[in-house]
Structure formats: C-alpha cells, structure tokens
C-alpha cells in the first residue's frame, strides 16, 4: 500500500482548495520564490508549492504533523530499499507471537482490535529501538513513523479523528503498514514545530499563507492518539477517549483570546503578501463551531498591513452533527503588504 501526503483524514485540510488558492495567487499576479505555511496541518498546501519549485517554510504546533513534514518534505538522505524491507518484515508479524504493550494496554477494545493494537505497539517500539541502535538514520526514522501514523489512521474505529471512538467493538483488520510515497523536489524546505506566533517573527518570506483554527475545537483533542504514537513517550492516558496530558499543544486560537492572538500574528508577519484562509462557520448553531474572528474583524486586522482583496468559493466542510450549514463559503483574503 502506497501512501501520499493527502491520503489522510484531517479536519480543515485544504486538499480540495489547492487550485482555488493557486488561481487567486495568479489572479493577483503575485510573483514569489518563498512560501510560508505556518499552520500547515497535513502540509498539502506547502507541498503543492514545493512541487512547483518554490522554497517553503512549513510548521505546525502538533509534533505528529512535523514528523510527516520531516518524512515527506525534507531533503535529507534515506535508503528506500532499507525502509521498504523493514516495513515488509513488520507486515509478516503474527499477533499471536507479540506480547501486550503500551499501545494494546491503552488503545485496544476502543480504537483498535487487540491483535492489531499489539502489532502497532510492537512496531512503534521497534522503530525507536532501530533508531537508538543507529540501524536507521533520522529521515528513515521519520519515514517509518509517518508510514505507521498514516496506516493506523486508516483502520481506526473512528469517524476520522480521536475525540471519541465508534460505539461498536473494533474489528480485526489484519493491520498492515503502507509505505510513504516520497518525491524529489527542486525547492528547499525549512521545517518547524512551534507556535506560529513565535515563528513568524524569525522568518521572512514572499508569501505567508495563514490557515489557523477558527473555533473552539482543539486539534490536540482530535489527534491526541497520533501525537502520542509520534512522540512515543508512553504517557498515562485518561478518561474514555484515552487522551494524554496535552497542555503544551492546546492552541490559543481555540480560546477566548483568539482575536488578540490573530492580531499579534498578522502584525508580526514579514512578507510581501499575506494570504488568509477563512470560512463562514460563524453562522453555526453549535457554540464550539462559532468563529472566533468575524469577517469584519478579519478585514480590519488585515487592512492595517495593506490592501486587501477577497476571493470566495463554495466548499463542503466537516460537520460534527449539530451544525447545519447548507452554503459554506471558503474565502481567501489576500493582503498586499504596505499598499
Ligand atoms: C485548519 S488546520 C490547517 C489545515 C492545513 N492548511 C491543511 O491543508 O491540512 C489548522 C492547523 O493549525 C495548527 N495550529 C493551531 N494553533 C497553532 C499555533 N499556535 N501554531 C502553529 N500551529 C497551530 C493545528 O494543529 C492545525 O493543524
């Protein structure tokens, strides 16, 4: 099974909006060599421009996303045959021969079947051992973890995130690990894992693309399990959803001070153009889906940095059940800084 950067369920990913973003950039006649994507999520937007030969700055507060960028978007050396051989060996493992472990103790009977969970936990531990014993280099380490993250996500007993698991026993899926498809890019990539508000003070780009969360729903809650597997520090997990402590990855953009945090971000960006993705969930009925920053706020904040143009399209979006919006508009605000 080959895995590509976009073969992943991720709330708010812009996979289907890449042409919309590219068209808007062309419409504005923006010429650029460097592209920043500091709330990069899956990384698909940055990857799109890296593939076109641009240099990218890619970042997310979640380590599980950083691991994927280091696997797919980095220029460091790796041995493809070696990685494929290791994955092949993992896929031959028989659950009956594997002992219980951290992953099966915590994530079987909820997100995974016991036999799949034992295999997943064994593989993650083995990747760490291989890295510590210097059998694999850093890039190979990231490629193996990413391949594991993408593969376990495909068989999880969920609707696509880990806020909760489905109300049925997880089925045995005979877990097999796929291989991340890796391309060679001409552009350079600079990869970060930090709060975007700090990072923007240190980088200078032609185009800065901004796609933060706009409501109270924390990505750290949606993807805690992937974050846990990516770090593999085996922390205690709590309550029904089995989340670990995650204070350091809770986003200020999902709290009541979001508007001030956003203003601070925009003020500190060093770029010729600032492009902001925005959608109109502010009409939503569920309080956790209400936008923290209104359309008017957005215009006022960006106007302080330069001239603003707005592009919009219709786009289907994630719906948690309570929210019922027929017309969902996805917008892009393009700010020509200093005009
Ligand atoms: C709407 S998603 C981005 C989706 C992305 N454009 C894509 O196509 O996959 C918002 C992202 O911002 C990240 N995030 C939230 N607060 C952040 C912060 N303060 N600094 C950096 N990233 C943050 C979340 O982890 C999430 O991945």
Q: What is the distance, to the nearest Å, from the Cα of residue 118 to the centroid of all Cα atoms in its chain?
A: 26
Quick check: CB of 227 below 6 Å from ligand 1?
Answer: no
Q: How many of the other CB atoms lie within 10 Å of CB of 265?
A: 26
Q: Residue 142: name the closest of 58, 231, 81 by CA.
A: 231
Quick check: CB of 121 below 6 Å from ligand 1?
Answer: no
Quick check: CB of 41 below 6 Å from ligand 1?
Answer: yes
Give the Cα separation of 15 and 95 in Å (integer).
Answer: 35
Residue 217 contacts by C-beta under 8 Å, 6 or more apart in sequence?
11, 254, 288, 289, 320
pLDDT of residue 126: 98
Atom from ligand 1 closest to the CA of residue 12: 1
pLDDT of residue 289: 62
Which residue among 18, 41, 215, 291 is best mutated to probe the pocket of ligand 1, counting the most ligand atoms within 8 A of its Cβ?
41
Phi first, then psi, for residue 183 (nearest 5°) are -105, 165
pTM over 0.85? The answer is yes
Atom from ligand 1 closest to the CA of residue 17: 8
3-class secondary structure, 313: strand
Going by CA atoms, what residue is nearest to atom 5 of ligand 1?
41
Cα 150 to ligand 1 centroid, rounded to whole Å? 18
In which region does residue 40 sit, left (phi positive, over 0), alpha (psi from -120 to 50) or beta (all else)?
alpha
What string of pLDDT tens digits covers the 339 residues of the chain? 889 999 999 999 999 999 999 999 999 999 999 999 999 999 999 999 999 999 999 999 999 999 999 999 998 999 999 999 999 999 999 999 999 999 999 999 999 999 999 999 999 999 999 999 999 999 999 999 999 999 999 999 999 999 999 999 999 999 999 999 999 999 999 999 999 999 999 999 999 999 999 888 999 999 999 999 999 999 999 999 999 999 999 999 999 999 999 999 999 999 999 999 998 664 455 666 667 888 899 999 999 999 999 999 865 544 445 444 545 688 999 999 998
295-303 and 258-268 helices, crossing angle to 10°: 30
Quick check: CB of 20 below 6 Å from ligand 1?
Answer: no
Quick check: CB of 61 below 6 Å from ligand 1?
Answer: yes
Quick check: CB of 36 below 6 Å from ligand 1?
Answer: no
Phi first, then psi, for residue 189 (nearest 5°) are -125, 140
Residue 188 contacts by C-beta under 8 Å, 6 or more apart in sequence?
55, 56, 75
Cα 21 to ligand 1 centroid, rounded to whole Å? 17
pLDDT of residue 299: 95
Quick check: CB of 10 below 6 Å from ligand 1?
Answer: yes
Q: Residue 109: name the closest of 151, 154, 148, 157 by CA.
A: 157
Strand spans (E) along the chain: 2-3, 34-37, 55-59, 179-180, 189-192, 204-210, 270-279, 306-314, 329-337
Atom from ligand 1 closest to the CA of residue 196: 20
Domains defined along the chain, listed by start: 1-63+188-216+255-339 (3.40.50.150)
């Amino acid at each position: 099974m080959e895995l590509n950067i976009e073969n992943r369920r991720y709330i708010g990913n812009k996979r289907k909006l890449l042409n919309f973003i590219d068209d808007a950039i062309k419409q504005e006649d923006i010429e650029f060599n460097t592209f920043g994507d500091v709330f990069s999520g899956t990384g698909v937007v940055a990857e799109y421009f890296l593939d076109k030969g641009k240099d990218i700055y890619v970042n997310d507060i979640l380590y599980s996303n950083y691991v994927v960028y280091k696997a797919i978007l980095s220029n460091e050396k790796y041995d493809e045959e070696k990685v494929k051989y290791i994955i092949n060996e993992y896929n031959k493992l028989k659950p009956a021969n594997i002992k219980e472990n951290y992953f099966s103790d915590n994530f079987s009977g909820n997100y995974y079947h016991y036999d799949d969970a034992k295999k997943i936990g064994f593989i993650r531990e083995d990747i760490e051992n291989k890295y510590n014993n210097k059998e694999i280099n850093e890039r190979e380490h990231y490629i193996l973890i990413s391949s594991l993250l993408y593969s376990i996500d495909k068989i999880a007993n969920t609707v696509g995130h880990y806020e909760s698991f489905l109300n049925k026993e997880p089925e045995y899926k005979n877990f097999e690990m796929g291989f991340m498809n890796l391309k060679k890019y001409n552009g350079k990539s600079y990869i970060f894992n930090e709060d975007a508000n700090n990072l923007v003070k240190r980088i200078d780009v032609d185009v800065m693309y901004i796609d933060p969360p706009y409501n109270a729903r924390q990505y750290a809650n949606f993807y805690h399990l992937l974050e846990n597997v990516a770090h593999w520090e085996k922390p205690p997990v709590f309550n029904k959803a089995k989340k670990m402590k995650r204070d350091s990855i809770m986003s200020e953009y999902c709290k009541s001070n979001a508007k001030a945090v956003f203003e601070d971000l925009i003020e500190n960006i060093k770029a010729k153009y600032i492009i902001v993705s925005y959608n109109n969930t502010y009409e939503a009925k569920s309080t956790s889906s209400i936008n923290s920053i209104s359309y008017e706020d957005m215009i006022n904040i960006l106007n302080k940095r330069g001239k603003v143009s707005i592009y919009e399209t219709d786009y289907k979006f994630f719906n948690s059940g309570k929210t019922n919006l027929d017309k969902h508009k996805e917008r892009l605000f393009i700010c020509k800084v200093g005009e």
